[in-house]
Amino acid sequence: MRILVTGGAGFIGSEYVRRRLSSDPSARITVLDKLTYSGVEANLAPVAEHPDHTFVHGDICDPDVVEQVMAGQDAVVHFAAESHVDRSIDGAEPFVRTNVMGTQVLLDAAHRHGVGRFVHVSTDEVYGSIGEGSWTEGWPLSPNSPYSASKAGSDLLALAYHRTHGLDVVVTRCSNNYGPYQFPEKVIPLFITNLLDGRTVPLYGDGRNIRDWLHVSDHCRGIELVLHGGRAGEVYHIGGGTELSNHKLTGLLLDAVGADWDRVERVPDRKGHDLRYSLDDSKIREQLGYTPQVTFTEGLAATVDWYRTHRSWWEPLKKRAELR
């Protein structure tokens, strides 16, 4: 199967490419990635010489590049996005450009080339916030941040290309990912690396915001199931099954590195901060046999270990992005 993977040098995309190439001899993967601040070519170093891997440095908003890479593909797995909520609050333009317009460029090209399947990787954040219970796939979208609004736009656009043009689109909406190679601006790697450096960690507000945590390898397993078994025009949730408040998560991270609460700095809450995300993922479990395989306890310990032993990966990234 020839697969175009957009954003394959990012956190989740690179996990997908590494695992797919190491487990499936029939996969031929072309990565299209702009290498923005969060795209790291070294994330693909383990497969750089793989004969079935081609890396193309380019922008999904550029119709000429997309036209070239789309030709001959059987499927697209679309990860490329501006992905950090805080950056979208500072400036929404790149989010609308890449997440909405870039997705439109890809969908048009996929339709023109008769691509067999287009997996659009979306997020639980498109639903907004939920006090109790869990969202099912038919829940109305009500995004609150410029990031989630741009993802909701692309998510609906992808589904519209199925209904309007008959393009074989499937959409996945997942919960918060964690694991190795995550850019150290996101809460888990930011906190781990700050703590490893003997610094403080910034906890938003009272820390009562709740997220469901999904190991990146389980997310990629879910995407594979949807790519091969999902029904065209359908949405599938991929959840992790571990809901934690940011306060509780902070406590677990402090324990993991042997630090105390005096290393936690309370900072003003994020604007429009969603209180709780929660996905009902019974559809993918029942229809496609998905079950997360990495427990949060094991996954978090392995992730802390990875950052401890991969300082040469994250130190330059933090310096370059001036992250504290």
Closest CA to 102 of 72, 130, 62, 50: 62
Exactly one of 20, 34, 237, 285 binds ligand NAD (CB under 6 A); that residue is 34
Residue 36 or 104 with smaller CB distance to ligand NAD: 36
For the stretch 252-256, contacts whose Cβ atoms lie closer than 8 Å and that sit 24 or more positions apart, written own/partner, are 252/300, 253/188, 253/191, 253/192, 253/195, 253/201, 253/300, 253/304, 254/195, 256/192, 256/300, 256/301, 256/304
Q: Which of 33, 82, 125, 224 is the catalytic position? A: 125
Q: How many residues does the chain have?
A: 324
Q: Residue 191 and residue 189: Cα distance in Å, rounded?
A: 5
Cα 72 vs. chain centroid, distance in angstroms?
A: 26
Instruction: Output the smallest distance, CB 131 to ligand NAD, in A.
Output: 21
Smallest separation (angstroms) from ligand NAD to the CB of 261: 25
Active site residue 124: yes
b/e map 203-230, b = 16+ CB within 10 Å: bbeebebbbbbbbbbbbbbbbbbbbeeb
Is 262 one of the annotated active-site residues of the chain? no
Nearest to 81 by CA among 2, 3, 177: 177
109 binds ligand NAD (CB under 6 A): no
Among 4, 20, 21, 39, binds ligand NAD (CB under 6 A): 39
Closest approach, Cβ 105 to ligand NAD, in A, equals 9
Active site residue 125: yes
> Which is catalytic among the residues 147, 181, 290, 307?
147
Residue 13 C-beta: closest distance to ligand NAD, Å: 5
* CA 236 to chain centroid: 15
Given candidates 4, 5, 10, 249, which one binds ligand NAD under the rule CB under 6 A?
Answer: 10
Site string for ligand NAD, 138-177 (x = CB under 6 A): -------------x----------------------x-xx
Judged by the rule CB under 6 A, the positions of this chain that interact with ligand NAD are 6-7, 9-13, 32-36, 38-39, 59-61, 79-83, 98, 102, 121, 123, 151, 174, 176-177, 183
